[in-house]
Structure 1
């Protein structure tokens, strides 16, 4: 029997497909409007006389002190990843005693690739459930790039702690529940839908290629506490003006990126899906635009709260210091890198202590949770809950040892 509409008219297959496509386009347009929330707010703050100077200063600082270093870090990462992808595949760890540690190491690599590999191997009966917990515990997502670019020593220390915690937790889980805990039958479609679609914004990529080296010079001048306007014999405020413009372009570029209406929340808080086989620099630019957008959101929110409300987050978190590690862990349960980038941005600005950043890093799974839920939802949820326990232990352990 042919499907019918509410008016009783018969719809053929072509009409059904057209209707489905129309609904998908509508959902994409709605999501696109939500993605424009960030640039619209920034533009509104720039247009307002009372917030113009503050907003421009903040987004310029975010561009030179965060965005440029993040792009440099991401460029190196995508260049190396693209090179290794062309090499013969390295066999996964075959010995059960080394699998958990190997999984934690894969989790330390930014992106969702490590989690997909481990979960797929678990479903196929090759990896243990403890390995799944280890990879999700060690995963920090794109927030790792932000932390490494801004505070490299803290970032490396945090990754080392996350990998160690993930490895120990994975071994404990296997010891308590067995390697085959929650094992499911292999699914024929377990690896589909995760080939990222190309969505490079060529104009933005070309712009970044032009400005990257001079922007890096300015960023290094800022890092060494040298006024770039004075050093380059430029009128006062010139560097800040162009930094603000470039930051706004990056935010608008992220907002204009093609969306995937199948999961609107994911498209808002996760990095853009893409194919990095052809142009590693374009992929680095897209990821940088995403990280910079959420970092700007955190920087602007922090600055506005401090200047106009008299509410200082740093003082508030200091007064309720015992709550901050729990808050970091709690936010880490949210899927996607966006909320985690905000936490990392607050840590960079000194608003939250390292214990909160540590708890968030161990608790959060970044973008890896989306494909994990799609591949094996029950496994992903249980593994996430299991990783929350060591996150609380490590965060509060650090808090009582060094911050209390």
Structure 2
């Protein structure tokens, strides 16, 4: 499943004794986090291929790990849920803040127009011509709304730790649907904008030719994708996917990153079962390296 919610559920059930350690390895291997939304929206065929690849590799990895260690490997005796409780309390307090409610309404009003514009863009249609607008109107409007999105994200939560920068904002079930949608959408948007902005400004300012820069990295590119995947949180993974979409990194690096990254699911995993989380993360790098370099040598 795209996003990190399903993986968090699996990790919680593992701590409670309902699922095996192999299930944790499987879900951390299979999940691509919020980067999956970006890839499915921009390159759906590549996105579905990554989802299918993650499913197969995760299933095989989970079965192998359970055969080696058994289902109860590294399971903590007592579930430590203070982290989750504090996150819910923090989000509950934030839900009363005006900016969260405002950003929920923002996306409630714009979700349908945004979908229409996204579909027209996907079919390579000139939206200014379709709606008989002056040239450049769509770009200026999109830039203005993007600034509003970034502003909502920056004001809704204090950023003082690594997790607060690269991880989604905590949510509670009582939150309005569009409030939760807005939190995730703004978070992904901020990282996509940051990635593309840094990429484009670097290319423009230094007059870089991508084929020359990345052509010399060769066999290190898949390894770099896997290495970034070890970082917890969805932000770095969205950055890698953004670079892949822009042509800066090859498919092999994207394959390695998609399999090795755990997204935001690693944060509650570390809080609830740190030893199991670290071991499962290390185990996920093995199939990631195999898949990435298999693609690299076979197709690149």
1:116–1:219 CA distance, 2 compared to 1 (3 A): closer
Larger relative contact order, structure 1 or 2 (CA cutoff 8 Å, min sep 6): 2
Q: Which of 170, 186, 192 is the matching residue for 2:78? A: 186
1:276–1:250 CA distance, 2 compared to 1 (3 A): farther
Partner of 1:5 in structure 2? none
Alignment of 1:366-385 (within 5 A): 366-385=263-282
Q: Which of 226, 243, 251 is the matching residue for 1:346? A: 243
The 10-residue stretch of structure 1 (355-364 or 315-324) with the greater mean CA deviation from structure 2: 315-324
| Kept after mapping to 2: 8 A contact 1:259/1:267 | yes
Partner of 2:23 in structure 1? 131
Q: Partners in 1 of 2:159 and 2:142 — Cα distance?
A: 30
Partner of 2:114 in structure 1? 215
Q: Partners in 1 of 2:272 and 2:86 — Cα distance?
A: 10
| Kept after mapping to 2: 8 A contact 1:276/1:283 | no
The alpha carbon displacement at 1:276 in A equals 4.4
Q: Partners in 2 of 1:398 and 1:244 — Cα distance?
A: 37
The alpha carbon displacement at 1:154 in A equals 1.1
Q: Which of 170, 175, 178 is the matching residue for 2:62? A: 170
Alignment of 1:232-381 (within 5 A): 232-259=131-158, 264-313=161-210, 315-381=212-278
1:385–1:115 CA distance, 2 compared to 1 (3 A): same
Aligned residues: 293
The alpha carbon displacement at 1:289 in A equals 0.7
Partner of 1:202 in structure 2? 101
Q: Partners in 2 of 1:205 and 1:249 — Cα distance?
A: 12
Give TM-score, length-normalised by structure 2.
0.90
The 10-residue stretch of structure 1 (181-190 or 274-283) with the greater mean CA deviation from structure 2: 181-190
The 10-residue stretch of structure 1 (164-173 or 209-218) with the greater mean CA deviation from structure 2: 209-218
Partner of 1:141 in structure 2? 33
5+ residue gaps, structure 2, are none
| Kept after mapping to 1: 8 A contact 2:150/2:186 | yes
1:294–1:109 CA distance, 2 compared to 1 (3 A): closer
| Corresponding residue SS for 2:219 | helix
Q: Deviations over 1:27-65 (max 9, x none)?
A: xxxxxxxxxxxxxxxxxxxxxxxxxxxxxxxxxxxxxxx
The alpha carbon displacement at 1:220 in A equals 2.7
Q: Partners in 1 of 2:20 and 2:152 — Cα distance?
A: 41
| Kept after mapping to 2: 8 A contact 1:218/1:228 | yes
RMSD: 2.1
Q: Deviations over 1:340-395 (max 9, x none)?
A: 00001011112111111111011010000000000011110011001111100011
Give TM-score, length-normalised by structure 1.
0.68
- Which protein shows a greater Rg? 1
| Corresponding residue SS for 2:88 | coil
Partner of 2:44 in structure 1? 152
Q: Partners in 1 of 2:107 and 2:101 — Cα distance?
A: 10
The alpha carbon displacement at 1:203 in A equals 2.3
The alpha carbon displacement at 1:210 in A equals 2.9
The 10-residue stretch of structure 1 (242-251 or 229-238) with the greater mean CA deviation from structure 2: 229-238
1:192–1:323 CA distance, 2 compared to 1 (3 A): same
